[in-house]
Chains A and B, each alone.
Chain A
Amino acid sequence: MATEGHSEDIGSIIIHHVSNSDVLVPLQLFGMDISITKHVIMIWLAGALVMTAFLLGTRRYRREENPIPSGFTNFLEFIVDFVHNQMVVPNVGREHAIRWTPLILAFFTLIVTANLLGMVPFFDLIPGGGTATSNLNVTAALATITFMSIIVAGSMVHGVVGHWKNMAPHGIAWPVLFILIPIEILGMFVRPFALTMRLAANMTAGHIAMLAILAPIFIMANAWVGIGSVTLNVGISFLEIVVALVQAYVFSLLSAVFIGGAINPEH
């Protein structure tokens, strides 16, 4: 029988499973706390995996002038080509694409790897949640990079003054600017905030849902409930794989759209 005490325990267990761990290795840098936590390890692991895969998979691109991809390199080339031609070129334009594709690739590969790593049960052996991208600090850090990139991209193409002038559309009556400029400034901050919340919320929600579906097994201690919960969770896991890919795509695509908007404000 479920009791109120059980429910509270389950609730705190779920929150514990999706939130960061306590400090594993305490560290300080110029008085700032940069202690190692589980999410720090997970983001390192994601970075290390991405680096290893791409550095090993692109060896022939550093050796040969016209390499012909095969096997795993084909897969890596598909990712690079997809980000370049489907996300960056349509938004940023072909002229600036080669400069901004690496940034969008870094977003996409790092986020998708961190998202998928969070689904590997092995990492649950360490206390705390395994999905670094479900942590608002991680997504906020990434969204801040998008925010800064928008300003840098606009300033590089139109100059610092030109970029800020582009914030308001040209050729409108000046009284409208009194309303428009605050809205645009608000929009400038809302965009990265939305990126932060969307990614973290989506990655947390799936894990909370899965844990909540597993919880009745422990509350009711019934085999049939167990079979039902696990079956449902297998289905949700497939859905989570899709969500992991889609959310990485959405974050990267929107970053490309915002950067493209700063480069081509007339669009």
Chain B
Amino acid sequence: MEQLVKFDPGLIFWTWTTFFIVLGILGWKAWRPMLLALEGREARIREALVSAEKARIEAGQLTARYEEQLQVSRQEAQQVIADARMSAEKLRVELEESARKKAYNLLSKAQEQIAADREKALREIRINVVNLSLDVASKVIERNLTTDDNRKLADESLRGIGKA
């Protein structure tokens, strides 16, 4: 049993030597570079996560802003279409009204012209009839004709009216 608890300074010495050689060489050449790389990677991952979160928030805000703009644009487009439709309707009504007025004016003028021409013709006829009547009357008075002559003259005058 005493073999198990035997004091062995040589083994203690070699344990220390081995331990410090391992610690010195690996601490310098392996573990420190690895730990620094791990810390660097951890920092990069943390930064990447933070920037990803920031980008996600920004993207969300951007999407909301675009949707809002899209909504505004859609409303504007609808407004433009409604305005255009209203303007077109107004224009159509105006054009129709204007055309109607023009047609009415033309018709009125034509009717007035016809009435004037008719009046003028009637007036000329009346003047001619009066003139002829005067001619006939003067001839009757100048010759003092018989009843047969008067009739004959009247017939001639009437034929003259028909020729005129």
Contacts and interface: CB of A to CB of B under 8 A. Distances in A.
- A-B complex is real: yes
Contacts, number: 139
A160 interface: no
Contacts of B15: 43, 132, 137-138, 141-142
Given A35-B10, A40-B11, A135-B11, A62 B33 contact: yes
Contacts of B16: 141, 144-145
A102 B23 contact: yes
B102 interface: no
Contacts of B5: 136
Contact of A34 (B3, B13, B30): B13
A220 interface: no
Interface in B17-70: 18-19, 21-23, 25-27, 29-41, 44
A164 interface: no
Given A44-B18, A138-B15, A58 B30 contact: yes
A137 B11 contact: yes
Given A32-B10, A44-B14, A80 B3 contact: no
Given A34-B13, A47-B18, A15 B4 contact: yes
Nearest to B40: A66
Contacts of A51: 21-22, 25-26
Nearest to B4: A19
A20 interface: yes
The main secondary structure of chain A at its interface with chain B is helix
B9 A101 contact: no
Nearest to A23: B10
Given A101-B35, A141-B16, A40 B10 contact: yes
Interface stretch (A103-111, A116-124, A179-187, A256-264): A103-111
Contacts of A144: 12, 16
B1 interface: yes
A106 B7 CA distance: 24
A67 B3 contact: no
Interface in B97-143: none
A246 B163 CA distance: 149
Nearest to A18: B4
Contact of B31 (A19, A43, A105): A105
Contacts of B14: 34, 36, 40, 43-44
Given A15-B3, A80-B34, A37 B23 contact: no
B159 interface: no
B25 A77 contact: no
Given A16-B3, A110-B19, 7 more contacts: A47-B21, A61-B30, A66-B37, A102-B35, A137-B8, A138-B11, A145-B16
Pairs of residues from A and B, 7 with the lowest C-beta to C-beta distance, nearest first? A141-B15, A102-B27, A19-B3, A34-B10, A47-B18, A54-B30, A61-B33
Interface of A: 15-16, 18-20, 27, 29, 32-37, 39-40, 43-44, 46-47, 50-51, 54-55, 57-58, 61-62, 65-67, 76-77, 80-81, 84, 98, 101-103, 105-106, 109-110, 132, 135-138, 140-142, 144-145, 204
